[in-house]
Structure 1
Amino acid sequence: MEYLRKLKKNYYFWLLLTLLLAAFLRFYQLGNIPSGFLNDEANKGYDVYSLLATGKDQWVSFLPLINLRGFGDYPPLVYHYLSIIPVLLFGLNEFSIRFISAIAGISSVFLIYLLGKKIFNEKVGVFSALSLAIFPWAIGLSRVAMEANIAITLFLGALIFGLKNRETKRIRNLIISTFFLALTIYTYSAFILFAPIVFIVIIIDNSYKNKIKLKKVLIPLLIFLLLITPIFIKKNSGSVRFSQVGLRTNINSIGFINTLNMQRGQCIKIFPSTMCKVFENKVVLYSSALIKNYFSHFSSNFLYVSGTTTQFPILEKRGLDYIFNAIFLLIGFYFLLKINKEPRCALLAIGFLLLSPLADSLTGDGNYTRASTMIPFLALINGIGMSYSVTLLNKIKSRYLSILIYFVSVSIITFSVFTFFVSYLTYFKNDYSIYSQYGYKDLIRNIYSNKFNYDRIYLSSNLNDSKQYIYYLFYTKYDPAKYQQKKDVDYSTDQDGWISIDRIENIYFVPSFSKTLFSAKDPDNNLLISNPVDFPKDIKSEFEVKDKLGNVIFKAVRLRDLVEYNRRVIQ
């Protein structure tokens, strides 16, 4: 019994178990679940492969320092450089590209423990780590190759060193914190807005506590400005991505100006034009959309019931967190606002949570990657709620009642986590495979084996919207040096900056099949590949690719067979 009491207070033991649990939930079947492989993941993988082979990315930039060109979205490059070692060790595959994200997810669990311990106490640290380890949103994000996960890890490191400087008064810790914060901007575009705000908070917090002289404040400030200036001078992922998916182009999906003109036009039919200009203008429309987007991140539907429609590549339709954590979150808020005797702690935990959705609010009402800045603070406050709940339970005089509540609580948590992960390994793996663009590995294998049997192979993206060419480069491990020359490659760029690869050798990537192709009187030896809806149901296929449920998602038909079929139908 004495041993169990000591074990109960052995926080290092519980932390170790938590880290092992986090590792299992993130690494088990990592290369196979999610079942598909997002085109952003494949793009990262091929750029890493290209950098490893030639020192240049796929667009011939030698060891880029700020961002790559990618699909025309100019993605940050930290994830790519960190992935070089896994690709070197494990080869170019799904596991090696997702490896760094999983490692970052586990590292964040340890870092949230340090943060909770530093702000509050060791018990809060352990419970915060547990909350993050089993957090469905964090697990899903750690199992795909997304920059957001790396940025969260760096951000937590920045907070820890910033708070450590408050205690030690060593400017070195503040400089390290500054470096990590600047690095988050080079890692994920959402931190372009969030990191500078956090930097200011850290500086103010340290100045207030330690009465740091102006000279010592200027040093980290100058370092921060020096580090982030290049990303604002050069075209970067933040500015480009915002122009492509920003709020001004996303309101009602028809564009900011179109929405404004439509609403004002309806207003003028009833009210004077001057009044309509006052109540229907850019400021009002933009502000109302921004406020709506912001508060949607804190809705019970978003957090605990249905989540967001963008989450299907990483999670099934469910809340981003467990329902039971809603109770712990409320208890955590209660503790911070009523019981906690250190206002600064409440200000940091709640303040950062309230600031965290700002970047995503500018682009929409809930994207699973851009809103992920909320994850560490939700986990921290959940951990505070868990810790305070245990404290309250220990004060119950009835030992049997206390044990009963413990047993029920642990059973609910265990059942919820187990149910989630079993569903993730089965239902999500199969029923949601299409959302992670499943099928391209088999498709490219078939294309490559048939490549020399046809003059041309046309691959249509109809109902399979993705950058299909990147899968061909990734799965065939296309020679980067050859691709960089673009001799057998046709490509174009649209007005928003998106790059379209139209041809690689004899493989043509098209949005749909043209009528002239279907009505050719003397068809060449060509192969057409598309969603089955583009072909007659009873036409002969050269091969088919099915999803995890057995539904055909790609069908390959010889052009000769299609033309002949159409002739027979006409006759």
Structure 2
Amino acid sequence: MKRLYLILFLGLILRVVWLDKFPAGFTADEAGQGYDAYSILKTGRDSWGQFLPLFPRGFGDFKPPLYMYTAIPTIAIFGLNEFAVRLPTAIIGTLSILILYLLAKELFPEKIALISAFLLTISPWHMQLSRNAWEGGLGILLFPLGLYLFLKKRYNWAFLTWGVNLYSYHSWRIFTILFIVALVIRQKFFKPVLLIFALALLPIVINYKSVLKRASDVGIFSAANTLSYLSNRKSPPTLFDNKYIFYADQFFTNYLSYFSPGFYFTGHRPDFSHLNFPGTPLHYPVEIIFIAIGAILLIRHKQFSYLLIWLLLAPIPAALTESSNSQRAITIFPLTVLLSAYGLAALSRYYKVLIPVILVSFILLVQTYLIKLPKNPIYSQRVNYKEVFTKAIAINSKYDTIHFSRVFSVPHIFVAFYSKWDPLDYQKHTQDWIRYVKADKLYVDQLESWNLGKYEFHDFHWERESKLQNALLISSFGDFPSSQHILFDLGDTRFAEINPK
């Protein structure tokens, strides 16, 4: 147990130290999760005025609520800041190491369980997941926990855990439902305990329109994707050339991409999300050997059928979206760690060579994380947003209005987060923003304009903006004429006073 405690301690240190500073920047999703949690803490309602919602509206994407609720205690203790919002994911990430150890110990000898825990602790993929306030990491804790309880024949607790997992992340929701269906077909029983899972599923079925909102934007069946297909057609549809064949082809192409070694072992992936470190693989390249050996050996394992079901179903949620994406493929991740550990254990005679290779790879990852990434950040990390918005908030009393251009993604949430905006007042503003639904928009920031107090958000048109009185304009340098005096220059962001008093 001493080695397990050391692994868990290392996991906690790697996930908590400098949590507010690394990864550099703070995304709109993180700020949104944090502010909704803050709003519920203060008023019992989210930013849209919904009482303890199961389907919080967010920016219009209706994220699953579980992460939001886990952030409430940490915000209550530490206040509304980056550390408090990210701390739940660091704790969840550390607990995931323990749960994967328990699951691996149920499946394999303890030696493999310890290797699983260690590989998860230093995993590039998991380091990304457990230092961002991102809801998908919850499933890495909950699904393996449910499977562990299931294998221990604690069926009530297993299905309850999987029921809770429905509210963690979209991909885990789809995968968990498919996995339960496969279990029912395989086992041909569980009727009483299925009631627990069915009750957890019921609100999702009732609110299916909200649940499917995000899919309508990024799914292969989305209007944009269908329009792209139709616009490229040069002849009428036929039996073997129509939109349904197009959907099927896109699905299977996506599905197979998640079995490509290049997706896991190189830093060249098509998704540029805030969980994708530039040039960083999801697994260390040396692990390709371990995973391949582990997969071959697993065929003879007594629990092979459960793990095969996991392997075959895991890519489906991600394959239903338009392109390969490491976030949406998170459902396969704990399994690849188990396979890697299983394969590494079989190569024990080569430990003197393999362990140093893994440790050097880990050191290079830390170097990328602490040094290279802050210098070459991903745009979605919004690295300079804190400086921009705290500066605007600090000098807001000097101006009648403050205008942000569409250069900024959902800027209202950063104003609310960094100013700790009164949630009751914020909820009043969202009653106006709901007009985005009537305007047939997917998200709030697709409105032509909206405001939060004196802060206004819209496209910039210099002829109009130049006539404002005592206003502060904040945008990129390209939105200002060369003759305009710039008050502050923060990277690629400019502050300009218009007709000040």
TM-score (norm 2): 0.93
Q: Which residue of 1 aligns with 2:321?
A: 363
Indicate which of 242, 250, 254 corresponds to 1:293. Answer: 254
Partner of 1:306: helix, strand, or coil?
A: coil
Q: Is 1:181 aligned with 2:169? A: no
The one-letter code of the counterpart of 2:365 is: F
Indicate which of 474, 482, 502 corresponds to 2:425. Answer: 482
Indicate which of 484, 489, 496 corresponds to 1:557. Answer: 496
Give the 3 Å change call, closer, same or farther, for CA 540–126 of structure 1 in structure 2: same
Give the conservation status (yes or no) of the 8 Å contact 2:124–2:280: no
Partner Cα distance (1:34, 1:499) in 2: 27
The one-letter code of the counterpart of 2:403 is: Y
Q: 5+ unaligned residues in a row in structure 2: which ranges?
A: none
Give the 3 Å change call, closer, same or farther, for CA 257–292 of structure 1 in structure 2: same
User: How much does 1:289 deviate?
Assistant: 0.3
Give the conservation status (yes or no) of the 8 Å contact 1:349–1:381: no
Partner Cα distance (1:383, 1:190) in 2: 24
The one-letter code of the counterpart of 1:101 is: T
The one-letter code of the counterpart of 1:419 is: L
Q: CA deviation digits over 1:131-190, x for unaligned, max 9?
A: 21111111101111111111221111110111100xxxxxxx101111111111112121
Q: CA deviation digits over 1:90-128, x for unaligned, max 9?
A: 111111111111111111111111111101221111111
Give the 3 Å change call, closer, same or farther, for CA 352–237 of structure 1 in structure 2: farther
Partner Cα distance (1:119, 1:488) in 2: 52
Give the conservation status (yes or no) of the 8 Å contact 1:26–1:142: yes
User: How much does 1:504 deviate?
Assistant: 1.2
TM-score (norm 1): 0.82
The one-letter code of the counterpart of 2:23 is: P
User: How much does 1:312 deviate?
Assistant: 4.6
Q: Which structure 2 residues correspond to residues 341-360 of structure 1 after superposition, within 5 A?
A: 342=301, 344-360=302-318
Q: Is 1:226 aligned with 2:233? A: no
Indicate which of 227, 230, 250 corresponds to 1:257. Answer: 227
Q: Which residue of 1 aligns with 2:440?
A: 495
User: How much does 1:245 deviate?
Assistant: 1.3
Q: Which structure 2 residues correspond to residues 243-322 of structure 1 after superposition, within 5 A?
A: 243-249=216-222, 254-263=224-233, 265=234, 268=235, 277-314=238-275, 315-322=277-284
Q: Which structure 2 residues correspond to residues 528-543 of structure 1 after superposition, within 5 A?
A: 528-537=473-482, 539-543=484-488
User: How much does 1:457 deviate?
Assistant: 1.4
Q: Which residue of 2 aligns with 1:63?
A: 52
Give the conservation status (yes or no) of the 8 Å contact 2:270–2:323: no
Q: Which residue of 2 aligns with 1:506?
A: 454
Q: Which structure 2 residues correspond to residues 84-123 of structure 1 after superposition, within 5 A?
A: 84-123=72-111
Q: Which residue of 1 aligns with 2:414?
A: 471
Give the 3 Å change call, closer, same or farther, for CA 87–236 of structure 1 in structure 2: farther
Give the 3 Å change call, closer, same or farther, for CA 388–554 of structure 1 in structure 2: same
Give the 3 Å change call, closer, same or farther, for CA 18–496 of structure 1 in structure 2: same
Give the conservation status (yes or no) of the 8 Å contact 1:456–1:506: yes
Partner of 2:159: helix, strand, or coil?
A: helix
Give the conservation status (yes or no) of the 8 Å contact 1:57–1:63: yes
Partner Cα distance (2:229, 2:457) in 1: 33
User: How much does 1:507 deviate?
Assistant: 1.2
Give the conservation status (yes or no) of the 8 Å contact 2:466–2:498: no
Indicate which of 368, 380, 383 corresponds to 2:338. Answer: 380
Give the 3 Å change call, closer, same or farther, for CA 382–502 of structure 1 in structure 2: same
Give the conservation status (yes or no) of the 8 Å contact 1:488–1:504: no
Q: Which moved more, 1:84-93 or 1:222-231?
A: 222-231
Indicate which of 323, 330, 351 corresponds to 2:285. Answer: 323
User: How much does 1:235 deviate?
Assistant: 4.5
Indicate which of 376, 380, 384 corresponds to 1:435. Answer: 380
Partner Cα distance (1:352, 1:141) in 2: 20
Q: Which residue of 2 aligns with 1:548?
A: none
Partner Cα distance (1:206, 1:134) in 2: 36
Partner Cα distance (1:181, 1:311) in 2: 30
Give the conservation status (yes or no) of the 8 Å contact 1:483–1:489: no
Give the 3 Å change call, closer, same or farther, for CA 352–175 of structure 1 in structure 2: same
Give the 3 Å change call, closer, same or farther, for CA 490–374 of structure 1 in structure 2: closer
Partner Cα distance (2:122, 2:457) in 1: 41
Q: 5+ unaligned residues in a row in structure 1: which ranges?
A: 1-11, 166-172, 208-213, 394-404, 546-551, 562-571
Percent identity over paired residues: 31
Q: Which moved more, 1:379-388 or 1:444-453?
A: 444-453
Give the 3 Å change call, closer, same or farther, for CA 22–143 of structure 1 in structure 2: same
Give the 3 Å change call, closer, same or farther, for CA 63–308 of structure 1 in structure 2: same
Give the conservation status (yes or no) of the 8 Å contact 1:35–1:433: no
Partner Cα distance (2:272, 2:15) in 1: 17
Give the conservation status (yes or no) of the 8 Å contact 1:35–1:430: no
The one-letter code of the counterpart of 2:137 is: N
Give the 3 Å change call, closer, same or farther, for CA 237–13 of structure 1 in structure 2: farther
Partner Cα distance (1:444, 1:119) in 2: 50
RMSD: 2.1
Partner Cα distance (2:396, 2:314) in 1: 48
Partner of 2:450: helix, strand, or coil?
A: strand
User: How much does 1:345 deviate?
Assistant: 2.2
Give the conservation status (yes or no) of the 8 Å contact 1:459–1:507: yes
The one-letter code of the counterpart of 2:279 is: K
Q: Which residue of 2 aligns with 1:564?
A: none
User: How much does 1:537 deviate?
Assistant: 4.8
User: How much does 1:357 deviate?
Assistant: 1.2
Give the conservation status (yes or no) of the 8 Å contact 1:246–1:364: yes
Partner of 2:222: helix, strand, or coil?
A: helix
Q: Which moved more, 1:469-478 or 1:295-304?
A: 295-304
Give the 3 Å change call, closer, same or farther, for CA 279–433 of structure 1 in structure 2: closer
User: How much does 1:560 deviate?
Assistant: 4.0
Q: CA deviation digits over 1:484-522, x for unaligned, max 9?
A: 223996664142431237111211111x212541564xx
Partner Cα distance (1:241, 1:384) in 2: 36
Partner Cα distance (2:262, 2:50) in 1: 44
Q: Which residue of 2 aligns with 1:240?
A: 213
Q: Is 1:424 aligned with 2:369? A: yes
Larger radius of gyration: 1
Give the 3 Å change call, closer, same or farther, for CA 113–93 of structure 1 in structure 2: same
Q: Which residue of 2 aligns with 1:35?
A: 24
The one-letter code of the counterpart of 2:352 is: F
